[in-house]
Amino acid sequence: MKKLSGKDLKLKANDIRRDIIKMLVEAKSGHSAGPLDMADIFAALYFNVMNVHPEDPKWEGRDYPVLSCGHICPVLYAAMGEAGYFPKEELLTLRKFGTRLHGHPHNLALPGIETSSGPLAQGSSQAVGIALGLKMDKKPNYVYLVVSDGEQQEGQTWEAVMMAGKNHLDNLIAVMDRNRIQIDGNTEDIMPLDDVKAKYESFNWHVIEIDGNNMDAVLKAYETAKTVKGKPIMIIANTLAGKGVSFMEGDYKWHGMPPNKEQGEKALGELVAEREKI
């Protein structure tokens, strides 16, 4: 698949955001804020960073995407649809009976989904297991893990973090959606993460902190991550919850709420206007 860069990636992120809104309006359920703020990350992963072949999802040389925070799957599905894993019209079946696009990803339902996810923090353990297996088999593939900041409050996260650090899994590149919201409010009010960068570094991880809604910063972070040797990598992506939709931005109430038809039309109008400025 041709790797995009610069303006083309920004346009692709905008496409993904518009697809997310259309999916959520049609489904009448699902999460809005996280998928929107992670559109830049997923555009970069699927159209520049990862070595994948959508036409051959089980290709042995592929990199492995692992979405731990399964509730933001609209952004994953939108990126996969744009990349050609399945027909884009299927996006509108999100959360409907008989769909392959479940409310949380199911690895037996859709080609290109490497792991099932939903229970927060389990994806970190899954990613560590895949990365360790690849190391043992002396394979060059990377594992690209996506986690939320809220799931850093889960104990299982830190068991996986310790395991990765101990085994020097430099083939594991994680990104954290640091949008500072969860379903009940601000993460720092619910259960403060304090200096999460220092915590990862103390467990022998290499940490890169960026503006997760700046495409140039995202690409540079992944480029740097691939040069790191002997340590797993965590990219802390500071994002704006609901990025691109003014009435959602920074509001934790949109963590688990979809827009209605009128709100969806307003959101799409804003995203179309933003696209014209790119």
Within-domain flag for 254: yes
Does 1 map to a domain? no
Establish if 183 belongs to a structural domain. Answer: yes
Cα–Cα distance measured from residue 71 to residue 191, given in angstroms and rounded to the nearest whole number: 20
For the chain, give the percent of residues with pLDDT over 90.
99
Instruction: Give the model's pLDDT for residue 118.
Output: 84
pLDDT tens digits for range 178-187: 999 999 999 9
**Number of domains making up the chain:** 1
CATH number at residue 147: 3.40.50.970
238: β partners: 178, 211
Domain membership of residue 93 (yes or no) is yes
How far is 54 from 62, CA to CA, in rounded Å? 10
- Residue 99 covered by a domain: yes
Query: Are 64 and 142 within 8 A, CB to CB?
Result: yes
- Whether the model pTM is above 0.95: yes
Structure-block tokens of residue 37? 């703020």
CA distances (Å), origin 17, targets 43, 187, 202, 242, 262: 10, 24, 35, 10, 17
Q: Is residue 130 in a domain?
A: yes
Give pLDDT < 70 ranges for the chain: none
Q: What is the pLDDT of residue 2?
A: 80
Nearest to 42 by CA among 4, 73, 76: 76
Q: What is the pLDDT of residue 9?
A: 98
The dihedrals phi and psi of 206, each to the nearest 5 degrees, come to -90, 125
Q: Which residues span the domain enclosing 38?
A: 6-277
Is residue 123 domain-resident? Answer: yes
The 10 Å Cβ neighbour count of residue 273 is 9
Tell me whether residue 2 is exposed, middle or buried, using C-beta atoms within 10 angstroms of its C-beta: 0 to 12, 13 to 18, 19 or more.
exposed
Q: Which residue has the tokens 């809220």?
A: 150
